[in-house]
């Protein structure tokens, strides 16, 4: 046991292996880390580390399908290499086989518990976020899935905590609540998460509670404390001007919200209403305002909030439609992707396609 503890603390590949397992990365990815850790094979000490730090802490009810696939591949890998398999791994695999037989019909609507570990670049600390999310976003439960841009937006927040500290932050299309949890971590003065789907909001509240945050009522509550996050049902298509004017955010955020052309006119209308509220000056961050065009944008954005949108551009026509709608609404969209350096807090997430994500700053044009 001591050897496994020492291995986990001292070896970065072990940290990556454990983090990948907790995030429910594909089994092949986790096993590749295990093989790397064992110098080419999954030794007894590596197996012991997997058992103590991963398997024994797993929740069979919420992670059963993943555990079954992972253990099957792990045991096959160990046996194929001629290593001895720990008895504990065999026994746990057997326990995974029984309950899953009755749950197969409900897999499409089931949830898994993932832990996303944000490893700080200096390696001295990490932020662990526990999230109940959908098994497969293609099953129609998109609001309860962890989208790539929400991971990137979270890294953006953690890279520039001074930008969000002591600010009122408002997210559109909050999904599982990951961005809101990171905003709370960097001490945003108020965190308001919104979504148009009640089942998504219910799952979001569960996730906030899993991370020791409490939720306020759906109505605006000015008495929020630092461990409280406000969750609001806000369908873009039916949100009235009065509804939107109740909020006075300093910063609006959105992750992977530019993908459905039919929703874009409503999204732009919501962003426009929130961005045109004159109430505060958004102080630019030195780390973000590194060229003349961004400094000009900050001056134009005085007395108005600012929005940051992270997105994978899956369809260029859809994105151009968004840009046209924004221009018509007198909003300026600036691509920050090549201007800022967002730190890599998720080096172990090999399934996370980080290079394809762009981040945009949006503000009201004063001219």
- Which pLDDT belongs to residue 365? 87
Is beta strand 331-335 parallel, antiparallel or unpaired with respect to 357-364? antiparallel
Q: What is the pTM of this model?
A: 0.87
Please list the residues that pair with 251 across neighbouring strands. 169, 306
Q: How far apart are CA 319 and CA 197, in angstroms?
A: 24
Q: How far apart are CA 302 and CA 362, in angstroms?
A: 13
Cβ–Cβ < 8 Å for 348, 119? yes
Q: How far apart are CA 65 and CA 61, in angstroms?
A: 9
Of 10-24, 103-117, 195-209, 325-339, the range with the lowest mean pLDDT is 103-117
Please list the residues that pair with 231 across neighbouring strands. 193
- Which pLDDT belongs to residue 367? 66
Collapse the DSSP code of 202 into the 3-class scheme (helix H, G, I; strand E, B; otherwise coil) and give the result: helix
For residue 293, pLDDT beyond 50: no
For residue 47, pLDDT beyond 90: yes
- Which pLDDT belongs to residue 101? 45
- Which pLDDT belongs to residue 208? 96
Mean pLDDT of 267-273: 96
Cβ neighbourhood burial of 278 (10 Å; 0-12, 13-18, 19+): exposed
Q: Identify the residue with better confidence: 285 or 326.
A: 326
Mean pLDDT of 9-15: 73
Q: Identify the residue with better confidence: 306 or 102.
A: 306
For residue 176, pLDDT beyond 80: yes
- Mean pLDDT rounded to a whole number for the chain: 85
Q: CB-side exposure of 347: number of CA atoms within 13 Å?
A: 15
Q: How far apart are CA 346 and CA 354, in angstroms?
A: 10
For residue 310, pLDDT beyond 60: yes
Number of helices (H), then strands (E), belonging to the chain: the values are 14, 10
236: which residues sit within 8 A by CB, 6+ positions away?
172, 196, 263, 266, 267, 269, 270
pLDDT band at 318 (very low <50, low <70, confident <90, very high): very high
pLDDT band at 3 (very low <50, low <70, confident <90, very high): very low
Interval 57-71: pLDDT, tens: 888 888 888 999 999
Of 95-104, 153-162, 175-184, the range with the lowest mean pLDDT is 95-104
DSSP structure string for 69-111: HHHHHHHHHHHHTTPPPPHHHHHHHHHHHHHHTTTGGGGGG-E
159: which residues sit within 8 A by CB, 6+ positions away?
287, 340, 341, 342, 343, 345
Interval 212-268: pLDDT, tens: 998 875 444 445 555 679 999 999 999 988 889 889 999 999 999 999 999 999 999
Interval 159-171: pLDDT, tens: 999 999 999 999 9
Cβ–Cβ < 8 Å for 184, 213? yes
- Nearest Cα neighbor of 244 from 325, 258, 236 is 236
pLDDT band at 141 (very low <50, low <70, confident <90, very high): low
- Which pLDDT belongs to residue 2? 43
- Which pLDDT belongs to residue 226? 55
Interval 235-249: pLDDT, tens: 999 998 888 988 999
Q: How far apart are CA 270 and CA 178, in angstroms?
A: 21
Q: How far apart are CA 283 and CA 50, in angstroms?
A: 46
């Amino acid at each position: 046991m001591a050897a496994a503890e020492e291995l986990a603390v001292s070896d970065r590949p072990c940290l990556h292996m454990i983090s990948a397992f907790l995030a429910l990365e594909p089994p092949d990815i986790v096993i590749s880390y295990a093989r790397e850790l064992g110098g080419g094979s999954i030794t007894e000490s590596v197996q012991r580390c997997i058992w103590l730090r991963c398997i024994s802490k797993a929740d069979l009810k919420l992670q059963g399908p993943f555990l079954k696939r992972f253990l099957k591949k792990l045991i096959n890998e160990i046996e194929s290499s001629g290593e001895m398999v720990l008895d504990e791994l065999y026994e746990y695999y057997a326990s995974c086989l029984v309950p899953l037989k009755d749950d197969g019909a409900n897999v499409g609507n089931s949830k898994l518990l993932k832990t996303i570990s944000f490893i700080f670049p200096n390696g001295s600390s990490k932020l662990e976020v526990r999230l109940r999310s959908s098994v497969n976003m293609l099953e129609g439960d998109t609001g309860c899935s962890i989208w790539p841009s929400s991971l990137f937006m979270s890294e953006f927040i953690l890279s520039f905590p001074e930008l969000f500290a002591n600010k009122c932050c408002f997210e559109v299309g909050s999904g599982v609540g990951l961005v809101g949890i990171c905003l709370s971590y960097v001490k945003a003065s108020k965190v308001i998460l919104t979504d148009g789907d009640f089942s998504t909001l219910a799952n979001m509240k569960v996730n906030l509670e899993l991370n020791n945050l409490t939720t306020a009522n759906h109505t605006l509550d000015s008495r929020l404390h630092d461990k409280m996050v406000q969750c609001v049902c806000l369908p873009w298509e039916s949100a009235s001007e009065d509804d939107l004017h109740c909020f006075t955010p300093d910063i609006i955020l959105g992750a992977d919200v530019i993908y459905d052309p039919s929703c874009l006119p409503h999204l732009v209308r919501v962003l426009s209403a929130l961005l045109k509220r004159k109430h505060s000056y958004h102080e630019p961050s030195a780390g973000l305002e590194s060229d003349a065009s961004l400094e000009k944008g900050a001056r134009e954005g005085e007395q108005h909030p600012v929005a940051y949108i992270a997105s994978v551009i899956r369809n260029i026509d859809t994105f151009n439609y968004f840009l046209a709608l924004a221009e018509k609404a007198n909003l300026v969209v600036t691509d920050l992707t090549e201007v800022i350096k967002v730190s890599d807090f998720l080096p172990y997430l090999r399934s996370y396609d980080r290079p394809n994500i762009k981040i945009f700053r949006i503000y009201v044009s004063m001219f």
